[in-house]
Amino acid sequence: MKKFDPPVYLFRLCSELDLDPIEVKKILELYTSIIKHENWAAQRSRRGLLVDCVYLYCNAYGKKLTIRTLKGYTKKQFGVATQPRPTKIGGIIHQLQPFSKSLRRTPIRSKRPT
């Protein structure tokens, strides 16, 4: 079994998506900041987390990418399909990135006695 190498994996995947090196660097920085974040509980494998970061970055910056499409690219490049599951990292990504939206749809309202 080969050791997982995030930069190599990311460069191969991003070559399929036609992302430039600056975008690849930003995705790798996002991945690294999540791995090192104090609240990260390793709910996803490192490979899955990297795919989640690619998916979130692409959709946040107007490069529309579906889960099915990204899953197909991972299958084509690596022989194993990895499905993005961005909700697994939603809370941490929201703390780290200004482009992320909160998972809560309605604001929290305090209950005041009337």
Q: Specify the pLDDT at position 104.
A: 47
The structural domains of the chain, with segments of one domain joined by +, span 6-96
Cβ 86 vs Cβ 93: under 8 Å? yes
Per-residue pLDDT of the chain (114 residues; tens, 9 = 90+): 478 888 888 998 888 888 889 999 999 998 898 888 777 777 778 888 899 889 988 888 888 888 899 999 989 888 888 888 877 665 565 566 554 454 444 444 555 555
37-to-27, 31, 40, 42, 96 alpha-carbon distances in Å: 15, 10, 5, 10, 9
Say what the pLDDT of residue 1 is. 43
Query: CB–CB of 39/91 below 8 Å?
Result: yes
pLDDT for 97 equals 56
Which residue has 């194993």 as its token pair?
80
- Considering the four listed CATH numbers 1.10.472.10, 2.60.40.1120, 3.30.429.10, 3.40.50.720, the one that applies to the domain covering 6-96 is 1.10.472.10
